[in-house]
Amino acid sequence: MNTPESLLNRNYAEDRIKSTAQWEVVIIGGGATGLGIALDSAARGYRTLLLEQHDFAKGTSSRSTKLVHGGVRYLAQGNLRLVRDALRERWLLLKNAPHLVKKQAFIIPCYSWFQVLKYLIGLKFYDLMAGKHSFGKSVYCSKTQVVADIPGINTKGLKGGIQYYDGRFDDARLAISIARTATEKGAVLLNYARVTGLIKTQGKISGLKALNMETDEVYTISSTVVVNATGVYVDEILKLDLMQQPHLVRPSQGVHVVLPRSFLSGEKALMIPKTSDGRVLFGVPWHNLVLLGTTDTPVEQTLLEPQALEKEIDFILNTAGFYLTAPPEKKDVLSIFAGLRPLAAVNKSSGSKTKEISRDHKLVVSGSGLITITGGKWTTYRKMAEETVDKAIKTGNLRPALCTTKSISIHGYTEEVSISQLSVYGSEEAWIKHEMTHDPALAERLDVEYPYIKLEVILAVRLEMARTVEDVLARRLRILFLDAKAAMRMAPVVAAIMASELFKDEEWENEQVQTFLKLAENYICNH
């Protein structure tokens, strides 16, 4: 089987790293921000390298609420600039990646006429700020309409609701598509490559050392500019620059639970505007299931696999239960996942709650010239990247070049989007279906309950630099985040396909399965 060409390829990346004497921009971190910077930098013509110590989007960038949004809550906080920027970026994401970003209608159920007035006025202002980038007008819905749109909604005291529009997307799939777009523009990307030290010349950053975690080879890499885009781990890279560093990030944990579609069977999402902790709670249709979230819990440790607390799960289920006639229980939960937000650190004595800390980003240049970008959110990844590359040009005295990412189509771009699970591949969907027809073995399902097929595992390895069973089941196919037990059932067949593709032995295959099964246990709700 001849697959499409992909420069998101490990052998290619390793060869380029060894053969390139001097890079202009090296990015540490392969989440949304880092990948966006790699795309922007390469599109401007700079020699660009990105290194990620785990898999692309392993952390926060695969664990979002799957919303491309301006941020209704930020509007209430008065952060108008963030909302305005995010609304414009939301529109650009839809324009540049229609195969991965969709318009989504949301319903806010209202149980008093004051709520109706309050939310309608607020969302009309949201529409006004969106201007020509609007996804649709906010309108009042009668009680009858709300019940039709959100079957199972609690009708006691229900006055009606407000319908408004935002965007929905698949975060990790978008990350992989941005990665492929970056390589098509000339960037070199390598996952499982850990930065172990920074190199300085006369006190200024001039490169770094990195360990290839698959081959144990150590790279000494020269670069005009180094960008720290490691999310919740930015402080660790800052310590490589200068041991005594104030914390730039205060992590906050957000938890999501996934339920069967029966709990929200309509096409419209549910938005609960005020919960007991002062946040909002979303119920979003996602991959034919329902995603409920999120929480906002300050945490001290930045774990690679953050654990949902019992109280967080209870909070989500209980809050949803107030609004649904059939309250969800722990036995209904198909998967639980937690992510850490890299919020800007605040003075502990101020007593600020994490929900009150700005979701805006922070761009800092240290005395050594190390550029650090942190904070922000998925929706504004492109703008954050633009600002970071602009800063890199000044810091490294690079030849000036204008940003072009507003008009760059993301890999897989197509306006003819299907409703198949293969639609996330965009323009490659037709080729995949052609291969399935010519070799029915490739079209065999990984599990009878879900539509994912063997060919997708092969593509994840050949085209998307997947290296482990977790890479495939968590971030290429998303099934670990959708149904943890189903992912566990799929693990052996995925490991066997990957072993064949990567020329690995039976011992590797067994280790991969056991490692994944242990990991997946953390995504199961033990009730």
Tell the burial category of 365 from Cβ atoms under 10 Å away from its Cβ (0-12, 13-18, 19+).
middle
The set of residues, in sequence order, having a beta carbon less than 8 Å from that of 438 and lying 6+ positions away, is none
Q: Report the top-level CATH class of 421-523.
A: mainly alpha
Q: What is the mean pLDDT of residues 22-35?
A: 98
Residues 383/224, Cβ–Cβ less than 8 Å: no
Strand ranges, E, within 281-406: 281-286, 289-293, 297-298, 335-344, 361-365, 371-375
The DSSP secondary structure of 436-500, one letter per residue, reads HHH-GGGG-EEETTEEEEHHHHHHHHHHH---SHHIIIIIIS-HHHH-HHHHHHHHHHHHHHHHH
Q: What is the pLDDT of residues 152-172, one digit of tens each?
A: 899 999 999 999 999 999 999
User: Which residues, 6 or more positions from 11, have their beta carbon under 8 angstroms from its beta carbon?
Assistant: none
> 3-class SS at 125?
helix
Structure token pair of residue 81? 């600039």
Can you tell me the mean pLDDT for 351-377? 75
Label residue 352 by pLDDT band (50, 70, 90).
very low
In Å, how far are 4, 13, 209 from 518, measured between CA atoms?
Answer: 34, 31, 32
Structural tokens at position 71: 């941020």
- What is the three-class DSSP state of 200? strand
3 state SS of 341: strand
Average pLDDT of the chain is 93
Q: Is the pLDDT of residue 348 over 80?
A: no
**What's the CATH fold of domain 87-168+250-348?**
D-Amino Acid Oxidase; Chain A, domain 2 (3.30.9)
Q: State yes or no: pLDDT of 513 exceeds 70.
A: yes
pLDDT value at residue 169: 96
Domain range list for the chain: 10-60+173-248+355-407, 87-168+250-348, 421-523
Is 87-168+250-348 the same fold as 10-60+173-248+355-407?
A: no
Is it the case that residue 489 has pLDDT exceeding 80?
yes
- May I ask the CATH class of domain 10-60+173-248+355-407? alpha beta
pLDDT (tens digit, 9 = 90+) per residue, 229-252?
Answer: 999 999 999 999 987 777 788 889
- Tokens found for residue 498: 């990957």
Give me Rg for the CA atoms of the chain: 23
**Torsion angle of the four alpha carbons 427, 433, 438, 439, in this order, in degrees rounded to the nearest 10:** 110
